[in-house]
Homo-oligomer: A and B are copies of this chain.
Amino acid sequence: MTHKKSNKKQPEPATRAGKGANGPQTRRERVASKEDAIVSAATEMFMARGFAKTTISDIAGKASVAEGTVYLYFANKDALAHAVLAAFYRGLTQKAQAGVVKFETTSDRLAFLARHHLDSIIKNRTILELITITDRDAQSYKGSDLYKMNREYVAVFDGVVREGVWRGEIDDKISLWIFRDIFFGGLEYAMRTILINNRRKDIDQVVSELVQMVTLPTAEQGKAAASISASSSDISKIAARMEKAATRLEEIVADRSANKK
C-alpha cells in the first residue's frame, strides 16, 4: 500500500509547454496557461453537458492534468463555474462597449444591445445556468465579483438609456432599473421560447418589438401612424417626446442668457 511502482503514466507538461516557437516560458506563464487550459476545458464541458453532468475528471482529462491539479487552481467546482462566467462576462461587456458606439439613435443602440445579448445567451445558454448555481443567496451576491461584472455589463445599457431619456427618445416615467429588468428579463425569456420552438429566425422580431416597446415613437413613425389611424396613443407619446425637447430647449436658452450676463 505504501509502495508504489508508479510512473505508469507520464504526461509531458514540459514538452507540451516548451513546444514551438514559444520555447521557454517563465513558471508564471506556464502556470497561467495551465489555468487557462482548465478554464477552457471547463467551458467546453459545461457547454456540452451542463454543470451537473460534467465531472472534475472530465475537465481534468480535457485539460490534460490530474484531477488533483484542478484543485490547485480552483477551490472547488463552483469556483470553476465562477471563472467560466467571469470570462463570459468579459467578452460580453467588451463587445457591447465596442459595438454600441457605432450607432447614433437610441433605438439603433438598443437594438444592437438586444441582438448582441440575445445572440450571446442563445449561443451560450448553458453558461447562463451557471449564474443560478454560483449565486447561492441574494444577500451575499451584492458585493460579489459576479455582481460587479454584471454592473459593468449593464452600465453600457444604462448609459444608452440615460442619454435616450435626455434626448426624449425614451419615456422618463419608467425608472432605469425597471427598464433594465424588463429589457434583459424579456430577452432571457424570449431566448427560452426561441430555443423551445427552435426558431432562431424570430430573433429579429424580438429585437425589433422589444425596442419598439421601450422607446417613444419618432416623428417618422408617428406620421405613418397618423396617416393610417391617427392612433391617439402614438400621438400622446410623440407629444411626450416633444415636450421633453421643449424643456431641454428652455434650459439651454436659460443657460445662455445667464452666461451672457
The docked-state distance in angstroms from the alpha carbon of A124 to that of B132 is 15
Count copies of this chain in the complex: 2
Contact B227 A222 (CB under 8 A): no
The docked-state distance in angstroms from the alpha carbon of A216 to that of B198 is 31
With contact pairs A184-B189, A227-B232 given, residues A222 and B239 touching in the complex (Cβ less than 8 Å):
yes
Contact B227 A230 (CB under 8 A): no
For A209, what are the chain B residues with a Cβ–Cβ distance below 8 Å?
173-175, 178
Contact A219 B235 (CB under 8 A): no
A188 contacts partner chain B, Cβ-Cβ < 8 Å: yes
Interface footprint category on A: 35 or more
For A192, what are the chain B residues with a Cβ–Cβ distance below 8 Å?
138, 181
State which residues 126-160 of A face B: CB under 8 Å: 129, 132-133, 136, 138-139, 141-142, 147
With contact pairs A222-B236, A245-B249 given, residues A186 and B190 touching in the complex (Cβ less than 8 Å):
no
Q: Which of A210, A238, A250 is most buried by chain B, counting CB atoms within 10 A of its CB?
A: A238
For A164, what are the chain B residues with a Cβ–Cβ distance below 8 Å?
none
Contact with A217, one of B190, B210, B233 (Cβ below 8 angstroms): B233
Contact with A252, one of B226, B227, B249 (Cβ below 8 angstroms): B249
Sorted nearest first, the 10 A-B pairs with minimum C-beta distance are A185-B189, A225-B236, A219-B243, A185-B185, A230-B232, A182-B186, A181-B189, A222-B232, A138-B195, A223-B236
